[in-house]
Structure 1
Amino acid sequence: MSKFAIRRIEKKSAVRTRAAVMAAGIGVSVALGAGVATAAGQSGDVALTGLTSGFEAAVKAQAEAQQKAADAEKKAAEDKKRAAQEAAEAKARSWVKPVDSYTLGASFGLAGSHWSHNHSGQDFVVPSGTAVHAAHRGTVVKAGPNGGGDGPAYGNAIVIQHDGNTYTQYAHLSGIEVHVGQSVETGQEIGRSGSTGNSTGPHLHFEERTGPDYGMGVEPLKFLRDHGVSV
């Protein structure tokens, strides 16, 4: 065989060898690239799953916090409403002073020329026009001039019937703000003080009675104090 032929065979063999090496390299690269891509895809899925889980947890925590706040606000509102209701019920059961600021005047049972008999109530000396309040809840049974039916000496007057056959009377009023048959609450304004009827000056004549009419009065200050009123 000639030298020329031998060289041609060697060149072909070298080319085949290089081609095989290149093919092998390409295969490795492809395989390696696929592996990297697969690994990257797997890592991305894990990261996405973690991100989604974290977001869901944050949303859930926020929802729970908002629900707790709403429940606390609802409970606070219910507690406030309950406290107000209990306070209103306690006030309704209580007794109060018929006027807020006053000076005590003529007392119950006092003898004198101003009355045909001994004084039948307690005077609270106040300026004319002072708000007069119902000492306890009840129903108005008398209201008007002439003592509401008790006589002209009382001037404009109101009588309220309460539980347990107790009555209160408010006399010498300059104004009456209730009517017969009306229900009133403890502390409700029912009129204004004055000096109508047989009066020596502006004041409220207040009586505690065992019946609706004149002559059934009991000592009002003791009654109020026995019912928790500071007078």
Structure 2
Amino acid sequence: MSKRVSFQHSRRPSLSRVRGAVVAAGLGTSMVLGAGAAFAAATAGSPGAASLISDSLAESVAQQAAVQGKAAKTAEAAKAADAAKKAAAKEAAAKKAAGWQTPVGRYVLSASFGNDGSRWAHKHSGQDFAVPIGTKVEAVHGGTVVKAGPNGGGDGPAYGNAVVIKHANGTYSQYAHLSRIDVRIGETVKTGEKIALSGNTGNSSGPHLHFEIRHTANYGSAVNPVSFLHKEGVSV
């Protein structure tokens, strides 16, 4: 009996120290159970039990630190990627604001610049974008509206409702056969800003947008608009 009592008393301080070490290390309940399992595996009375438990705790702490370090690096990489994405979007928006674009989004190219035939008194002075009536028409570049109204905005009834915008480099863009005009003369517009809705007004064989690039605000000074936009980096 005396030996059994002596043996039971000798185990309690060791187990108490193990539990104290686990709590001091800041580990959770799962770690406490792990320490208990390591203690049992060492078998009662084994002189290497304390050393085994200490090694197990050190390894667990090291593993936890490694996991936390990896998580921190992942979060930092995600933050950097998000910042890079936002910077790229901001740069793209700035380029769009400073650059040029097509006057409509989805379209089919129809009559091209320089075409001739019975539909025109002279060769075709612009590029036609076949789109349904009511398609949003946008300014291809920032500028000031110098013409807006029926009768081609002053260029003649063949254009129907039309808008002409003057750009900073002395170039003008014209938009014709519109069903509705949403800007007025003297108004400043930005690249991509809605200026009208496409239509079928004037001398038109079907719903489309007639688009021109000119050297002046008036008819007769047009250049090939597709070639011009290509030089500005716009795919048409």
The verdict on a shared fold, with TM-score over 0.5 as the criterion, is yes
Count of aligned residue pairs for this structure pair: 196
Match of 1:209 in 2: 214
Pair 1:69 & 2:74 matched: yes
How many angstroms does 1:65 deviate by?
3.2
Residues 1:144 and 2:148 aligned together:
yes
Change (3 A) 1:107 1:44: closer
Aligned residues of 1:103 and 1:126 also touching (Cα < 8 A): no
CA contact (8 A) 1:148 1:157 kept: yes
Relative distance call for 1:206 and 1:77 in structure 2 (3 A) is same
TM-score, normalised with respect to structure 1: 0.63
Say if 2:191 is the partner of 1:191. no
* Counterpart in the other structure of 1:3: none
| Partner-residue secondary structure (3-state), 2:179 | strand
Give how far 1:119 is off: 3.9
Change (3 A) 1:50 1:125: closer
Percent pairwise identity: 44
Give, as a single letter, the amino acid of the residue that structure 1 aligns with 2:196. Answer: G
Partners of 1:163 and 1:144 in 2: CA distance: 18
Residue equivalent to 2:28: none
Bigger Cα displacement from structure 2, 55-64 vs 209-218: 55-64
Deviation per CA, 1:88-115: give whole Å up to 9, x if none.
3444454433333224226337475744
1:190-230 superposed Cα distances (whole Å, 9 cap, x missing partner): 32221223334322111101233333222223223333444
Tell me what 1:96 maps to: 101
Rounded to whole Å, the distance in 1 between the matches of 2:109 and 2:127 is 11
For residue 232 of structure 2, the aligned residue among 224, 227, 230 is 227
Determine helix, strand or coil for the equivalent of 1:197. coil
Q: Which moved more, 1:137-146 or 1:166-175?
A: 137-146
Which structure 2 segments of 5+ residues have no match? 1-5, 19-49
User: What secondary structure sits across from 2:89 in the alignment?
Assistant: helix
User: Structure 1 regions of 5+ residues with no counterpart?
Assistant: 1-32
Please, what TM-score do these two structures have when normalized by structure 2? 0.62
* Cα distance in 2 for residues equivalent to 1:143 and 1:164: 18
* Number of the residue aligned with 1:218: 223
Q: Are 1:123 and 2:128 matched, yes or no?
A: yes
Residue of structure 2 equivalent to 1:157: 162
Q: Decide which of 170, 175, 187 is 1:181's aligned counterpart.
A: 187
SS at match of 1:81: helix
Q: Distance in 1 between matches of 2:79 and 2:183?
A: 39
Which residue of the partner structure matches residue 132 of structure 1? 137
